[in-house]
Amino acid sequence: MSDIPLLQSGRPRHEQLSDWLREQVTSSHFAAHDQLPSEHDLGDLFSVSRITVRRALATLENEGLIYRRQGLGSFAAPPKLPQGLVRLTDFAQDMERAGLAASSRVLHHDPEIAPPAAAQALGLDEGTTVVRLDRLRLGDGAPVALDRTWLPLFYAQLLEGHDLAHETIYRVLERDYDIPVLRGHYRIEAILAGPDEAKALDISEGAPLLLVERTSLSAGDRAIYYQRRYYRADRVAFDLELARESGGKTTAGMPLREFEPVFKKQGD
């Protein structure tokens, strides 16, 4: 660690401590997954209270620079890796572009009556039977997201016999049936983890999640599936880039050039 600075008066001590810790992490004094000094040690080093230390650590945790484990302490978070989701890619392609090894576990794969949101997105009547597929998505063996996908029976039948823990819906439909996924509707929302999501993603109930709702369509605007992907908020953020027209004039807002998630790489 670099020299311990003297905290100055006139500015909250927890902010000064946050600044020092941030510099330690971003300048690589701590490598990814290195453990930071304990709350007790930081309090002694800076002659501040445990509450002050906890506020400083909470700031860095909210910024995604550190993560904390109950009973173990605080650790430097791995760097975020850029990856493109604005393009119509499947999960394996997302992880490949992020430099992560993709894998999946099928948690549920059975028929059910379509929930109202799924029926509306798929253009089905209420009470229509669909197939729900739940998969835990992992990057380098660590949970990244939980996918809950509803498929009309026609498309679900095409997936029968395929190992959906290792094959994606996109690839099966395009490779084996020449059914391309041409476009999709997206909706992104911040939510809190319920008991099912928390258990699957190995997080606390009530932890923040980033929910991405997606309806994927093929030729003729036929809905292939409706999906709710629950991203762990500590594993992904989104970068947005807009571009103005030539000359700086625009009449309908700035067109979207890039809309990309950024994934954090976990340890092996």
Q: Are 18 and 54 in contact (CB under 8 A)?
A: no
Angle at 243 between CA 239 and CA 245, to 5 degrees: 170
Closest CA to 92 of 83, 190, 148: 83
Q: pLDDT by residue for the chain (268 residues), tens digit each?
A: 555 566 666 788 888 888 888 888 888 788 888 899 999 999 888 888 999 999 999 888 877 788 888 788 999 887 654 444 444 456 666 666 667 777 899 999 999 999 999 999 999 999 999 999 999 998 888 898 999 999 999 999 999 999 998 888 888 998 899 888 888 888 889 999 999 999 999 999 999 999 989 999 988 789 999 999 999 988 877 666 655 555 555 444 545 445 566 665 554 3
Strand positions, DSSP E, 140-264: 142-152, 183-192, 208-217, 223-232, 236-242, 256-264
User: Considering the entire predicted model, what is its pTM?
Assistant: 0.62
The whole-angstrom separation of Cα 146 and Cα 96 is: 18
The whole-angstrom separation of Cα 162 and Cα 181 is: 18
Containing 197, the helix (H) or strand (E) segment is: helix 195-201
Q: Are 122 and 155 in contact (CB under 8 A)?
A: no
Q: Are 266 and 78 in contact (CB under 8 A)?
A: yes
